[in-house]
Amino acid sequence: MRYCSVASGSNGNCHYIESGEYRILVDLGLSARQIEDGLKSVGIDPASINGIFVTHEHSDHIRGIGVWARRYKVPILATAGTWKGMERSLGPVSGELAVTIRTGKGYRLGDMRIEAFSIYHDANEPVGYCFESGGRKIAVMTDTGMVTSDMKHRLMDCDLAVVESNHDVDMLMHGRYPWPLKKRIRSNLGHLSNEDCGSILAEVFVENARGTFLLGHLSEENNRPELAMETVQTILEERLGERKDSVFLTKRGAPTDMFTLP
Ligand SMILES: [Zn+2]
Ligand SMILES: [Zn+2]
C-alpha cells in the first residue's frame, strides 16, 4: 500500500491511498485543479483515481468533488447524512456515481477492504476511514472532538495513520476567534489539539511501536507546524521516555512524500 497526504489543513484536505491497481482519494477539499496538480507532482495520474470517499460535508473536505465527479466520472462514497449535507454544494452528480455507505460495514475494492467509522464532529454523519490490504492498514482520523477507546484501538492496529493535531490550546484561547467558535473547536464535536494528539499517540505507541503517524488538519490561525511537532514530541518524551522519528507533519495545500508500506 502507498499513502500520500495531497493536502491537509483547515483550508483543504485530500488523502491518496493506493493498493495494487486501485487508487482512491479521501476528501477533495481544494479545487479539482489544485488536487490534479498535487497528484501529478507525486507522479499520480488524476485520471487513474477509482473513487472518492468523503468524511463529512464541510467545505474544506468537499470543495472540488462536484467538478471531479463530472470530469472523471468516478463514484463518490459518503454516508447518508453527508450526502444530505453536501448535495446542494456539489452541483449535479449523476445518480450511479452517488454511493451511500454505512459505518460498521466493510467495502471491497480489489484486494482492499474499506471501513467507515463514526467520529465526533459538528457535521451530519461524519466518519473516519480504515483501509486494509495484504495485512497492512491505513487510517484517516481528523475532524473529531474526541477519540474513543474504539478509535484508539483502530490506531493501535494501523501501520500508518493520519491523526488530527488542529490547534495549540493557548494560541486558540488567546487568539482572535470569537468565543463561540473557540468553544466549538474545543468541544467534543470540534477538533483535537496538539496536546490531545500527543496524549493519544503516547497511548497508541505503547501498543503499536511500528506505526507511522502523520499530524493532520493543522489550523492556519491557531497552530504552527513546528509547534505541533514539538508539543507532540514533548508529550511522547514525557510519557514514553523517547521522541519518535516515525511521526511526520502533513502540509497545507501541498503533498507530503509518498509513504510506502512494505
Ligand atoms: Zn469539519
Ligand atoms: Zn476539516
Q: What is the pLDDT of residues 182-215, one digit of tens each?
A: 999 999 999 999 999 999 999 999 999 999 999 9
Fold (topology level) of 2-253: Metallo-beta-lactamase; Chain A (3.60.15)
C-alpha cell at 239: 510519557
pLDDT band at 51 (very low <50, low <70, confident <90, very high): very high
Between the CA of 168 and the centroid of ligand 1 the distance, in Å, is 17
Give the pLDDT score at 262: 82
Q: What is the pLDDT of residues 162-174, one digit of tens each?
A: 999 999 999 999 9
* Residue 47 clears pLDDT 90, i.e. is over it: yes
Give the pLDDT score at 125: 98
Q: Spell out which residues have Cβ within 5 A of ligand 1, the ion.
A: 58, 143
Between the CA of 91 and the centroid of ligand 1 the distance, in Å, is 20
Between the CA of 187 and the centroid of ligand 1 the distance, in Å, is 13
Between the CA of 241 and the centroid of ligand 2 the distance, in Å, is 32
Any idea of the CA torsion for 8, 13, 19, 23, to the nearest 10 degrees? -140
Between the CA of 56 and the centroid of ligand 1 the distance, in Å, is 7
Between the CA of 31 and the centroid of ligand 2 the distance, in Å, is 15
Between the CA of 58 and the centroid of ligand 2 the distance, in Å, is 6
Ligand nearest to the CA of 123: 1
Between the CA of 242 and the centroid of ligand 2 the distance, in Å, is 30
